[in-house]
Amino acid sequence: MKRKECSALRGIAIVSIMLHNYCHWLPFAVPENEFSFDLEKYIHFWNAISWDTIFIQFFSFWGHLGVSVFVLLSGYGLVLKYDNTTINWKSFIVKHYKKLCIPMVLGLIAYYVVLFIINYPNNKNLLTIIPLNRFFAQLTLIINFLPNPHRLVAPGPYWYFGLTMQLYLIYLLLIYKRSIKTITAIALCVLLFSFLLDNNPQLLISTKFNSIGWLFPFIYGIIMGRRTFNLSIYQTYSIVAITFILIPLFAFSYYTWLLIPLLVAIMATLIISIIPTIIINTFDAVGKLSLYIFVLHPITREITIQYGQNVNPHIGITLYLVLTFIIAWGIGRITYFIKHRA
SS (H, E, C) 290-309: HHHHHHHHHHHHHHHHHHHH
Give the number of other Cβ atoms within 10 Å of residue 4's Cβ. Answer: 16
Omega before residue 121 within 30° of 0, cis: no
Amino acid identity, position 184? T
Residue 41 phi, psi (nearest 5): -65, -40
Residues (pLDDT < 50) of the chain are none
pLDDT of residue 121: 61
pLDDT of residue 268: 96
pLDDT of residue 231: 87
Residue 131 phi, psi (nearest 5): -70, 115
Task: Answer for the pair 157, 64: CB distance below 8 angstroms, yes or no.
Answer: no
Omega before residue 155 within 30° of 0, cis: yes
- What is the Cα–Cα distance from 186 to 212, expressed in whole angstroms? 10
Task: Answer for the pair 301, 310: CB distance below 8 angstroms, yes or no.
Answer: no
Task: Answer for the pair 48, 57: CB distance below 8 angstroms, yes or no.
Answer: yes
Task: Answer for the pair 37, 251: CB distance below 8 angstroms, yes or no.
Answer: no
**H/E segment holding residue 270:** helix 260-271
- What is the Cα–Cα distance from 210 to 208, expressed in whole angstroms? 5
Length of the chain: 342
Q: How big is the CA angle at 192 (ends 191 and 197), to the nearest 5 degrees?
A: 95
pLDDT of residue 247: 97
pLDDT of residue 180: 82
Amino acid identity, position 56? I
Q: What is the pLDDT of residues 106-137, one digit of tens each?
A: 998 899 888 888 776 665 555 566 677 788 88
